[in-house]
Chain A
């Protein structure tokens, strides 16, 4: 028997014996078969409101330039809410007694993966690297950020849309207190500088923050994500 034939028989047997392990080896096929209905894996991001409203989950075609690999592996096995009002906040709010509130009944839990699949999918996601040009020149200089929180809350008003701890802050954007754990620093720097470069129709405005202050904001977000919020809310 030649080696190639032997190897392919061996491979075939492994697949039969452990479908789990085999599925775990092909992250990209899991992505296309189980995730592509809600997540855009190829780009581009929506360029019209209609397309924006129809988007069911965050775009993943630049995942390799956005997420931290270790966070992906953990979250995919134990997904928890990131956007307090869901993907498009307008689909998940209703009038309340004092002001509009999130309609929790419209928010569904995220599908969960086993460990092998989560690892394979995380590896596959890290290969999706659109927009590398946007992060190529972004570099964080780690430093203490004594006024980072003041910038986020008061000077730039980012807190109007982002929570800085569970249950405190705005609802229409992703929670900010876990951003530092989830996201790569160059992505955060670039996104704050120009959100529309990543997602032309997103409802985060460009606040024209000078580069030095973006550094402070991102250092703040990274420090903030190291706090333990598990006993709050």
Chain B
């Protein structure tokens, strides 16, 4: 092993926990999103009874197909207000990396079995 590699080792070790933090989209969804969007992703979460705007049904192909991947990315990262929707949809930019949010967008496309425009 050359000296440079040895010198870089502590740095790599220090980075390891943050690298290990990338979680799967399904795990993220079932930790952060189902509290409002429901165990089945149908918008029927445990929190919704007293909410003035109801969460989106993520299995609704028509509604979800009306949004581009960029819009879905934006609403997850910056919250409902960023696309002129309800503040009750929170911003998750301090919770996820951009990569995790891209994975969530793909995951939502599997829930609705849809893509933008149909």
Contacts and interface: CB of A to CB of B under 8 A. Distances in A.
Interface of A: 47-49, 52-53, 85, 89-90, 93, 95, 98-102, 154-157, 159-161, 168-172, 194, 196, 201, 203, 205-208
B31 to A, nearest CB: 6
Given A52-B31, A194-B94, A157 B86 contact: yes
B95 A196 contact: yes
B23 A93 contact: no
19 contacts: A48-B21, A89-B46, A93-B39, A93-B46, A98-B44, A99-B44, A99-B48, A100-B45, A101-B46, A157-B86, A157-B90, A160-B36, A171-B46, A194-B94, A196-B94, A196-B95, A207-B79, A207-B90, A207-B91
A52 B21 CA distance: 12
Contacts, number: 92
Given A85-B46, A100-B38, A48 B23 contact: yes
A116 to B, nearest CB: 39
Contacts of B38: 99-100
Interface of B: 17, 20-21, 23, 27-28, 30-32, 34-36, 38-40, 44-52, 79, 86-88, 90-95
B107 to A, nearest CB: 14
Most chain B beta carbons < 10 A, residue from A49, A90, A157:
A157
A208 B17 CA distance: 26
Nearest to B45: A100
Given A171-B46, A172-B35, A206 B88 contact: no
Contact of A205 (B17, B31, B48, B91): B91
Contacts of A161: 35, 47
A114 to B, nearest CB: 35
A62 to B, nearest CB: 19
Contacts of B92: 205
A161 B34 CA distance: 12
Contacts of B30: 90
Contacts of B49: 99
A46 to B, nearest CB: 11
A169 to B, nearest CB: 6
Contacts of B45: 99-100
B47 A171 contact: yes
Contacts of A206: 91, 93-95
B90 A48 contact: no
Contact of B50 (A89, A168, A172, A194): A168
A52 B51 CA distance: 26
A90 B45 CA distance: 10
A20 to B, nearest CB: 42
Most chain B beta carbons < 10 A, residue from A100, A102, A207:
A100
B94 A172 contact: no
Contacts of A48: 20-21, 23
A203 B35 contact: yes
A53 to B, nearest CB: 8
Nearest to B46: A100
A90 B88 contact: no
Nearest to A197: B94
A156 B89 CA distance: 10
